[in-house]
Amino acid sequence: MFGYKSISAQLLLPIVLLTSNVVYAQVQSTPLRTYASSPIQSLTSAMQLRSAFKHQKAEIFATASMASVWGQSDEFQLDYYQNHAFLGFQLQPTERLSAEFMYQYSWAADNGLDSLVADFHDAFGIGHNGRELVGENQFNIRSRSYNYNNTDFKGETMANALHAYFQYQLIENAHHGLALGATLYFNDVNSSPFERSSFEQAIQLNYSYRNKNHTLFSSLGYTFHDESEAIFGSLLNDSTLAFSAGYAYRIFDNHELLVQYHIYEGALMTTVLSLIRHKSLFWVIATPITTGWLLKYPQQKTLAIWITLRIFTSPAALDSTSTETPIRRGSTLRTTNSIT
């Protein structure tokens, strides 16, 4: 079994925003808004860690991320750059029901991460896994196992997806929250080497606990993939499991420390031989860990900094930078930058 670790640091910068005059006696903690970043799962439906308490404020958010992908195994050779943009909003239409709608666009483009990533890996003593031996700015995905060869796809669309998430409040009191969530995902890419049309669904159970300055989050999810559509020359598993947990500690009313842990089952269907050898890039489990600090300013501006450690039990490397800008009614507009 191969081992690989990568680290990311993320920074949220405050921007002025018009806010409502609604004031809540208890400041609500929520998980950091992150999405799966592995090459396959970032282009399919992937579970997000959610709070099981009802939302106090409506939210408009935008997320942009850049990734430099490198992976070498018996099955795949990956060397390319992908970029993601998300735009969505979240609301609480009834006392028990909340809804979130999000659009995702992902594309291949040079994002200039090579030098930054190399310096970052050197600074933390992370190996390059042969990446320093090849030229920069390449867009290649090759697989002898699946007879797949996709090269020079710079500028091509990789995902064009709509996400709809609905959450129903089962239990909520002063300390405990339990909610059931469901996701609908539709991806339609035309006139591209990544052309595919897929409809996926997911369910998840969210439990949260809060006591004074402490909040715990957990989500257990099951995703039904569209196994009729190939990605990277292979079909997806018909379903995958995911688990996420998080902890938030509020220091006074304006400081908060957060840590989150995610476990994603590999989504790509693999060969029996690769399963026996345990060398498939996408069969193994990805386990990102995120820690962060959040500071709330007057007028509902927010500054947050977090670091993500992504652990892959394969030789796949993923390096990324992202920007997130959630806007909450009575809250903030935030910008996030990361290096993975």
pLDDT at 97: 97
- Judging by beta carbons within 10 Å of its beta carbon (0-12, 13-18, 19+), is residue 225 exposed, middle or buried? buried
Altogether, the residues listed in the chain come to a count of: 340
- C-alpha to C-alpha distance for 26 and 233, rounded to whole angstroms: 50
C-alpha torsion sign, points 294, 295, 296, 301:
negative
- C-alpha to C-alpha distance for 230 and 335, rounded to whole angstroms: 34
Q: How many helices (H) and strands (E) does the chain have?
A: 2, 18
Strand-strand pairing, 234-235 and 286-296: unpaired
- Find where tokens 């409040």 sit: 169
Containing structural domain, residue 95 = 4-339
Nearest by Cα to 223 from 242, 196, 197: 242
Query: Residue 41 phi/psi, 5° resolution?
Result: -65, -25
Question: What are the structure tokens assigned to 170, written together?
Answer: 């089962």
Determine the residue type at 272: V
- Find where tokens 């962060």 sit: 292
- C-alpha to C-alpha distance for 17 and 298, rounded to whole angstroms: 11
Residues 337/149, Cβ–Cβ less than 8 Å: no
The upper half-sphere exposure of residue 334, i.e. CA atoms within 13 Å in the direction of its Cβ, equals 26
- Find where tokens 């993939």 sit: 225
Residues 202/221, Cβ–Cβ less than 8 Å: yes
Residues 6/310, Cβ–Cβ less than 8 Å: yes
- Find where tokens 């992504």 sit: 310
221: Cβ contacts below 8 Å, ≥ 6 apart:
47, 181, 202, 203, 204, 205, 241, 242, 243, 244
Q: Give the CATH number, domain containing residue 246.
A: 2.40.160.40
Nearest by Cα to 46 from 306, 303, 314, 282: 282
Per-residue pLDDT of the chain (340 residues; tens, 9 = 90+): 333 333 333 333 333 333 233 333 356 788 888 888 778 888 999 999 999 999 877 888 877 777 888 877 777 888 999 998 999 999 999 999 999 999 999 999 998 877 776 776 677 677 666 676 676 788 999 988 788 899 999 999 999 999 999 999 999 999 999 999 999 999 999 989 999 999 999 999 999 999 999 999 999 999 999 988 788 878 888 899 999 999 999 987 788 899 999 998 887 775 544 444 444 555 556 777 877 777 776 655 566 666 666 555 443 445 444 444 444 433 333 333 333 3
Question: What are the structure tokens assigned to 205, written together?
Answer: 């159970």
What's the domain count of the chain?
Answer: 1
